[in-house]
Chains A and B, each alone.
Chain A
Amino acid sequence: MAAELVTAVDVVMTVEQIKASQIGMKAIAAALAVGMTGIATGIAEMAIGTAAVGATAENKDTFGLVLLLTVIPETIVIFGLVVALLLLFV
């Protein structure tokens, strides 16, 4: 009887652990989604940004256009953020 009780308690603990672990995994996935897309955006913007500064140094009229082009990779990190929010709250 005592042995069965111990087993039941063990099972209950394990389910809680699994739930907690699931939340943890979700948090890690969300962090990865935002973090890695952030790095990717950084790399993409580095290349576009330096080219944009180069183009603007030669021709100031291009500033508006190159500014727009520089922020286009922001979409990558926004997608990451959306995925992270979906993981955490949906």
Chain B
Amino acid sequence: MVGVKNISAPYIYICTRMRVRKTTLLPREEYMRMLNMNLPEITRLIGETDYKQEIDELGTTFKGIDLIEVALSWNLAKEYQKIQEITPGTLKQFTRAYLHRWDIQNVLTILKGRLQGAKTGKIKEILIPAGSLDRVALDRLLAEESSDKIVEMLKGYRMYPQVFAREYPLSKESGSYSQLENELYKQFYSEIISEAESGIKGGKLFLDFIRLEIDIKNVKTLFRLRADTFEEDARAMYIEGGTLSAADFVTLNTMKDQNEFIDALKEKIRQKSIIALLDELRSEKAIRDVENRLTRVQLEQMERMSKRNPISIHPILVYLERKKYEVFNLRALARGKESKLPSEKIAEYLVV
């Protein structure tokens, strides 16, 4: 009878659906095959998979790399919207909170696009309306020419009062949205943590997932800062909520020696999966490889968590992440082929 009272039929239903969907994602061998193909062949192959509907619909309007880009974005948005629709109860609440990051990404894409003078159509192609801002809302934002008006229109959304009102004038003055972006993501993580800690059933498992993500993000930032030649304020990039404290983050950033840094990081971070990887990163030089390996560890650990808690938010979040990386991989492949990069080089960018 263990666990019977905790298992509800809608949870089993949605978790099974997510697990089945995960099996339909492209396997590693497919990517390896695609590495030896040209762009039209890749488009045809993608058109035979789950992306068929988008490729067929957009085939008349777009060609080549644009077709793949837009089809991938549309498919990802459709998939995420569908999942939000079919997820029951508290799982819906957690899923929505988790997908709120796409609102941030979309708004920043529009603002950055406007800043760089990009065409509306080009910006629209890369938007992924997977959060609370749907296609109509994003179109309304895109219709505005000035950034001030765009920010004005965001007043009704929760990201406005805390962050935009405070950070936007500063970003406008400096001409860079990096600080605004940092603050938006910090607020995003603090919001989902408070949602997970609000005592809702299953919140503890959601929190574990978020903690792992924050830790991976902080470790990636530390490695990036090490690879960077500019002196930047590390504290501004630290995300609260993981196992690494802000003070430790700043101290670790000041360490120059790689071995000393990794030893100290191993002591401070309380994620076994990351600790196991850190030793292997001692000799790793390229930041892209480090990030790739950290992402892989994150996905593997998330996978393990979803197997340990098969009827929880984990299978849903794992699918969301896997799907995101499938789209990233296909985009990297298509972009690489378009730029005539050698297959070995493209393979380095794939998370498989």
Contacts and interface: CB of A to CB of B under 8 A. Distances in A.
B247 interface: no
Contact of A47 (B12, B20, B24): B12
A36 interface: no
A57 B9 contact: no
Interface in B263-301: none
Contact of B13 (A50, A59, A62): A50
B155 interface: no
Contacts of A57: 17
Contacts of A55: 16-17, 20
Q: Chain A interface residue count: which class?
A: 10 to 19
A55 B4 CA distance: 21
A46 B17 CA distance: 16
A49 B9 CA distance: 9
Contact of A51 (B13, B21, B24): B13
Contacts of A49: 9
A1 B58 CA distance: 109
Contact of B12 (A51, A58, A59, A62): A51
A54 interface: yes
Interface string B5-40: 001011011111100110010000000000000000
Contacts of B16: 50-51, 54-55
Interface string A43-81: 100110111011101110010000000000000000000
Given A54-B20, A58-B20, A58-B21, A47 B7 contact: yes
Interface residues of B, number: 13
A65 to B, nearest CB: 12
Contacts of B7: 47
Contacts of A46: 9
A43 B15 CA distance: 18
A77 B145 CA distance: 69
A54 B13 contact: yes
Interface in A8-66: 43, 46-47, 49-51, 53-55, 57-59, 62
Nearest to B14: A54
Nearest to B86: A57
A43 B4 contact: yes
Contacts of B14: 54
A62 B20 CA distance: 11
A59 B17 CA distance: 9
Contacts of A54: 12-17, 20
A58 B17 contact: yes
A21 to B, nearest CB: 32
A51 B11 CA distance: 9
Contact of B9 (A50, A59, A62): A50
A12 B67 CA distance: 95
A46 B9 CA distance: 7
A19 to B, nearest CB: 37
B27 to A, nearest CB: 16
Contacts of A62: 20
Contacts of A43: 4
B249 to A, nearest CB: 41
15 contacts: A43-B4, A47-B9, A50-B12, A50-B13, A50-B16, A51-B16, A54-B12, A54-B13, A54-B16, A54-B20, A55-B16, A55-B17, A55-B20, A58-B20, A59-B20
Interface of B: 4, 7, 9-10, 12-17, 20-21, 24
| A-B interface, 6 closest residue pairs, ranked by CB to CB distance from nearest | A54-B16, A58-B20, A50-B9, A51-B16, A54-B13, A50-B12
Given A47-B9, A54-B14, A58-B21, 14 more contacts: A46-B9, A47-B7, A49-B9, A50-B9, A50-B10, A50-B13, A51-B12, A51-B16, A54-B12, A54-B13, A54-B15, A57-B17, A58-B17, A58-B24
